[in-house]
Chains A and B, each alone.
Chain A
Amino acid sequence: MISMIVNVKLYATLRKLAPKNVQIGEAFPLDLDSPTVNGVLHKLGIGEEQAKIIMVNGTRVTKFDHELHANDTVVIFPPVGGG
């Protein structure tokens, strides 16, 4: 099993799943067993329907098996809307 660190940012209703004392908009390190977006979701206990918008290094990704590399920044949003 490989181990790899990525940086994760969680917003809105997902913030509760971030470690305590992580500020809004602050990335926290996450040690992954499986180097994919799915690996992040599993580790944090985020359901696929909650991970509505996922960005890796600022670019939107739509596949849960999207491969990640060490030090990637993964940003996850639940369904949001406003205007």
Chain B
Amino acid sequence: MSKVLRINMEDLSHKWQNVKPAHKTYAGRAFTSTILSEEVDPTCHPLREQNKIVISPGLLAGTLAPSSGRLSVGAKSPLTGGIKEANAGGLTGTRLGNLGVRGIIIEGAPKNSKDWYSILVGKDKCEILKTNQYAGIGLYDLIGKVWKDHPTKPGIIGCGVAGQRLLENAGVFGNNIENSDPGRYAGRGGLGAVFGSKRIVAVISDGKGGSRPEAKDQEKFDEARKTFVKSLNAHAVTGKLKDDKGEPYGGLKNYGTNILLNILSEAGGLPTRGFRSGRFDKAAKISGEAVHDLVDKTKAKFGDKAEGKYAHACHPGCVMACSNIVPYEETGKQHVSPLEYETAWSLGANLGIGILHDVAELNRLCNDIGLDTIEAGNTIAMFMEAGIIPFGDGPKAIALLKKAYDEDSVEGRLVSSGAQTAGKTLGVTRIPSVKGQALPAYDPRPIKGIGVTYATSTMGADHTAGYTIAAEILGIKGKVTDPRDLKKAELSQAFQATTAYIDSTGYCLFIAFCILDDDDGFNAMKTTVDSFLGEDIDVTSYGKDVLKKEREFNKKAGFTEADDRLPEFFKTEPLPPHNVVFDVPDEELDAVFKGF
């Protein structure tokens, strides 16, 4: 029986509640967005006591369904001023699923407190611990200390120094399975700062005594999940590491998400040097293929001592295993985990940096300080755009980011505050943000559909919210949708609705590459959800219901259609090499949510 844990940080109390009957099919994003829309005043200050943090493992987290252990974190976003859900892998989703926790709702804030707290959740127990020793330190140190203090291999999420200082690009970190890196980020939207505002450093989930959640129809569930594993393993994107001849097979396992860097560059859609070009001449040096080669090279040189990896799972039970551990070339030891496509872009191509070590170091710093890498790269680009440091200068970018450790450094605070705040402060007019959140790694000028998603998503500019790239560039689902076609409202809406469903199930969004291509995979996936709940859930209407609640929240927070637009420079500055602008008409953007 799932429970909801409600924590009040004003009087440091907690209570366990039953899941409301009306919420029984909600988990993950559906749960966080429903609770926020029912309980949080959309006009509240996101960093004061009226905001709430909602944490919810996806519906199937903790079960044996493949790649189903994602965790959603929601709150009103300090970055966008709207509703936010960010999700990640790591250990916490699985631990909470095993503990039977549907959600944790954290409300209020301690009055005038100088103390820092952590929340320890276990089997039928919750403690709010005073943990000042966890505050003000790097997150690599923090996760090590937590596992020393709590030797049951708990999941950990929370905020780093950026969140503790209430800075708007603070992400919510998560420890990885090995507890070697705090790099499993529910990164976007500044939710780490909401943790900081409630004086919480960490939420520690101790799975001891937990058990696997049971499906309503366990037999059907088990059959479907096995079919789904086969389907995922067979697909060329999500599939196994090697084929029968021992040659590299599955794209994600071999090269990670960063398999995309070269294709986006070749397609002319890789935003480079602050969205000035669609191609990066050093893309290959920081691509997934380069990480793959570095891992192999360091393995050959250092043998058992080599720590680099590809085909690395981000959460227990992930069969796609797109994560990696990037090693130092000189020692073979772990430098950072993971290095994702979005990060290789934001801290690499977007800054004109083509040296893998420098990109990995910028990523490691973000993980340690508690910053979202997509927003951090865009923010550093504002410093480059303003001429404070040059594009392409890795060491200067690293030195700038290191200032974020220093509580007294104004530059350090600015580099932790997101692209819009930094850009405006530094006099930049080319700020690539929608609803205050900076764009990810696909330029919307040559690839129109993703621009429609950036403009209209409830989350601000977010590729995962409606990943039309799958149809426009990757040719998933049979034929390729022309990226230059302007009629993209329907495509974007379909992806946005399906995504809201997937984000609620606990499944990783990357299952989409398989289920869009393979009907058996789709049916098996849907059957796992339906047999778990004991009811037939319509994927699209479930997703639309979530989107409706989010749109409504944003409307009450003050958003209008005028906020569903891209920054002006995308409409006026042609992007080489194709020399195109974003020319989707406003009516097409407004058509995405017409009738919602």
Residue among A26, A50, A60, A62 facing the most chain B CB atoms (10 A cut-off): A60
**By the criterion CB–CB under 8 Å, are A25 and B284 in contact?**
yes
Q: How far is the CB of A72 from chain B (nearest CB, A)?
A: 14
Report whether A9 and B463 are in contact in the complex, using a CB–CB cutoff of 8 Å: no
Q: Is the interface of A mostly helix, strand, loop or mixed?
A: loop
Which residues from chain A contact B283 at a C-beta distance below 8 Å? 25
Binds A, one of B133-141, B375-383, B469-477, B528-536: B469-477
CB <8 Å contact, A79 and B293: no
Report if A20 contacts B (CB, 8 A). no
Interface presence of A28 (CB below 8 A): no
Q: Tell whether A69 is near chain B: CB-to-CB under 8 Å.
A: no
Scan residues 1-31 of chain A and give those whose CB is less than 8 A from a CB of chain B.
9, 11-13, 15-16, 23-26
B residues in contact with A25, CB < 8 Å: 262, 283-284, 287
In the complex, what distance in Å separates the CA atom of A15 from the CA atom of B473?
20
Q: Pick the interface stretch among B55-63, B248-256, B390-398.
A: B248-256
* In the complex, A55 has a CB within 8 A of chain B: yes
B263 near A80 with CB under 8 A, answer yes
Complex Cα distance, B7 from A40, in Å, reads: 63
- Contact of B251 with A12 in the complex, beta carbons under 8 Å: yes
Question: A77–B463 Cα gap in the complex (Å)?
Answer: 22
A62 touches B480 (CB 8 A): yes
Chain B residue contacts of A77, Cβ below 8 A: 262-263, 266
Is A53's CB within 8 Å of the partner chain B?
yes
Cβ of A66 under 8 Å from chain B: no
Shortest CB-to-CB span from A40 to chain B, Å, is 15
Task: Name the residue of chain B whose CB is nearest to the CB of A16.
Answer: B247
| B337 located at the interface, meaning its Cβ lies under 8 Å from any Cβ of chain A in the complex | no
- Which residues of chain A are within 8 angstroms of B463 by Cβ–Cβ distance? 83
Quick check: is A45 within 8 A (CB to CB) of the other chain? no
Evaluate whether A83 and B284 lie within 8 angstroms (CB atoms) in the complex, with A16-B247, A78-B251 already known: no
- With A11-B289, A12-B259, A24-B284 as given contacts, are A83 and B509 in contact (CB-CB < 8 Å)? yes
B255 in contact with A12 (CB, 8 Å): yes
How many residue-residue contacts, CB under 8 A, span A and B? Answer: 108
B341-A79 in contact (CB<8A): no
Is the beta-carbon distance between A58 and B268 smaller than 8 angstroms? yes
| Residues in B205-234 with C-beta less than 8 Å from chain A | none
State in angstroms the CA–CA spacing of A52 and B517 once bound together.
13
Q: Does B464 contact A (CB under 8 A)?
A: yes
Q: Hey, which bits of chain A sit against chain B, CB under 8 A?
A: 9, 11-13, 15-16, 23-26, 50, 52-53, 55, 58, 60, 62, 75, 77-83
Would you mind naming 23 contact pairs between A and B with Cβ atoms under 8 Å apart?
Answer: A11-B262, A11-B266, A12-B248, A12-B254, A12-B255, A12-B262, A24-B284, A24-B289, A25-B262, A26-B284, A53-B480, A58-B266, A58-B577, A77-B263, A80-B255, A80-B474, A81-B476, A81-B513, A82-B256, A82-B258, A82-B259, A83-B342, A83-B464
Binding site for A on B (CB under 8 A): 235-238, 247-249, 251-252, 254-260, 262-263, 266-268, 283-285, 287-290, 293, 322, 340-342, 463-464, 467, 469-470, 473-476, 479-480, 509-510, 513, 577-578
Known: A25-B283, A53-B473, A79-B476. 16 other contacts (CB 8 A): A11-B263, A11-B266, A12-B262, A13-B248, A24-B293, A25-B262, A53-B474, A53-B480, A55-B266, A77-B266, A80-B251, A82-B251, A82-B288, A82-B340, A83-B257, A83-B260
